[in-house]
Amino acid sequence: MAGNSFGHLFKITTFGESHGKAIGVIIDGCPPNIDIDEDFIQSELDKRKPGQSKITTQRKESDVAQILSGVFEGKSTGTPIAVLIPNEDQRSKDYSHIADKYRPSHADYTYQQKYGIRDYRGGGRSSARETAARVAAGAIAKLYLKSQGIEIFAHVSAVGTLEAPNLDTTNLSALLDIRESNIARCADPATANEMIALIDSIRKAGDTIGGKISTVVRGVPVGLGEPVFDKLHADLGKAMLSINAVHGFEYGSGFSGSEMQGSEHNDIFVKEEEQVRTRTNFSGGIQGGISNGMDIMFRTAFKPVATIMRDQETLNEAGDSTTISGKGRHDPCVVSRAVIIVEAMTALVLADHLLRFKAYKD
């Protein structure tokens, strides 16, 4: 049962449905005396919110975060931080025609079978709207990590089969500026333009398309990760796969590593400026489930959104065959908004593991 909490020492619990009164999160375990920059939290929410561009859902939410507790004079107090985000633009009539039908590949069928009851409006709890709560919590985790010298950068590296070239990741804040200069959130401007045109044509055809997000984390000390079950990459994988529409996770060389030989794949240790580094980083910054001090690198793959604006064959709750077509406001491709969700979940995993790592120290 349950399944709405994540993390051990830096722990979150989210609540709320897409068409209920509000969504929100309780963050338990945020260390005291962290500067809680509310403008930063809001700017993170603004990057995820619906209605932000022509290639996202047109639902208009201000997604203004209300911090109800745990912060005093701009700093965390070490007590639970509760964040509430009211829902303002629900349009439940868009869902009345599918109240007793199952959208193919959506959560409709499994939620109905598991719980025997389902808030079908906007997908209820299964809606990606829930991820706004994660972004609010992730922004607080990022503020803690920043105080420890850790930075996270993600961008859209593919839409469908359209792939961005590999980036030079020397300057992550410069890449962040490029990413934020386009609505696709790809840090390669030429590919970003092609992605926008592709998503727009898919939207006009009433269809949806998947994509990939690449993430780099810099400044993580050696030693984060708790073998054998809570290996750092295992927890990152769980975090990514808990995001709506995620179908794949790979770190370092990932699936392509299975096509290489050990002599090519081994990351050779070298000493640079009195620091142990590796010449290559096929390990993606994690060896034996523990961070090795190199950049942590992974990719997350998203399937195409299930709700499409075309007639599809399906079944209703009585088991009769029928047809179904999406109505209303949906994302033709989620990755441009999901970049912020990926960063938030990454921050939550790292904040939790940093606190667990510190528990070993005197």
Ligand X SMILES: C=C(O[C@@H]1CC(C(=O)O)=C[C@@H](OP(=O)(O)O)[C@H]1O)C(=O)O
For the annotated binding site, the residues are 48, 54, 125-127, 244-245, 288, 303-307, 329
Q: What is the C-alpha separation between 155 and 166, in angstroms, rounded?
A: 11
Contact 303, 97 (CB under 8 A): no
Options 36-44, 128-136, 196-204, 263-271: segment touching ligand X (CB under 6 A): 128-136
Q: Examine residue 132 and tell whether it contacts ligand X (CB under 6 A).
A: yes
Reported as half-sphere exposure (CB side, CA atoms, 13 A), residue 167 has a value of 29
Q: Examine residue 332 and tell whether it contacts ligand X (CB under 6 A).
A: no
Q: Looking at 7, 16, 24, 50, which residue binds ligand X (CB under 6 A)?
A: 50
Size of the site for ligand X (CB under 6 A): 18
Q: Examine residue 57 and tell whether it contacts ligand X (CB under 6 A).
A: yes
Q: What is the C-alpha separation between 53 and 218, in angstroms, rounded?
A: 30
Q: Examine residue 187 and tell whether it contacts ligand X (CB under 6 A).
A: no
DSSP element (H, E) containing 271: strand 269-272
Reported as half-sphere exposure (CB side, CA atoms, 13 A), residue 340 has a value of 26
Q: For the chain, how are helix, strand and coil distributed in percent, rounded to 5?
A: 35, 25, 45
Q: Examine residue 122 and tell whether it contacts ligand X (CB under 6 A).
A: yes
Contact 212, 299 (CB under 8 A): yes
| Nearest of 288, 296, 282 to residue 214 by alpha carbon | 296
Annotated binding site for NADP(+): 48, 54
Options 55-63, 111-119, 208-216, 229-237: segment touching ligand X (CB under 6 A): 55-63
Options 74-82, 125-133, 296-304, 350-358: segment touching ligand X (CB under 6 A): 125-133
Q: Examine residue 47 and tell whether it contacts ligand X (CB under 6 A).
A: no
* Interacting residue ranges for ligand X, rule: CB under 6 A: 18, 50, 57, 59, 61, 90, 94, 122-123, 127-129, 132, 244, 307, 328-330
